[in-house]
Amino acid sequence: MKRKLSYKGLQEGIRTLKTPKIDVWRNQYADKDYVITLENPEFTCVCPKTGLPDFANINIQYKPDKWCIELKSFKLYMLFYRNIGIFHEHVINKILDDFVAACKPRCVNIKGEFNIRGGVKTTVITEYKRS
């Protein structure tokens, strides 16, 4: 007998998920247009459906304005997801929301390349451009 699988209710409160604070420091070169790249090749979270770990390479490129991301707090922020059940699409968008709220960059592009699971590789890309 086949069991009907349901995703209903698994991610309803994801936008309000309380995450660790990302600290920032004042950019002394806010008058310049330059790019900072952050990469986390060992990102982990949990599949909310199976409870199995998901592994990904997260790549962030941003143009800072007045604030830059402090790396230690960002590392702790990323480690927070290790035990969180969250869909790939949601985690990349949640990181974007928290990143923009923390440093208010000119623009940012976040790419999550998740390891193959069940023969399928997932890549999620999201971006923010201040208008």
Nearest to 69 by CA among 21, 110, 124, 109: 21
Domains of the chain: 22-129 (3.30.1130.10)
Catalytic residue among 47, 65, 97, 98: 47
Token pair in block for residue 79: 């480690």
Has this prediction a pTM greater than 0.75? yes
45 part of the active site: no
23 Cβ contact list (under 8 Å, min separation 6): 69, 70, 72, 73, 74, 102
pLDDT in tens, the chain (131 residues): 555 556 677 688 899 999 999 999 999 999 999 999 999 999 999 999 888 999 999 999 999 999 999 999 999 999 999 999 999 999 999 999 999 999 999 999 999 999 998 899 999 999 999 98
47 part of the active site: yes
DSSP 3-state of 37: strand
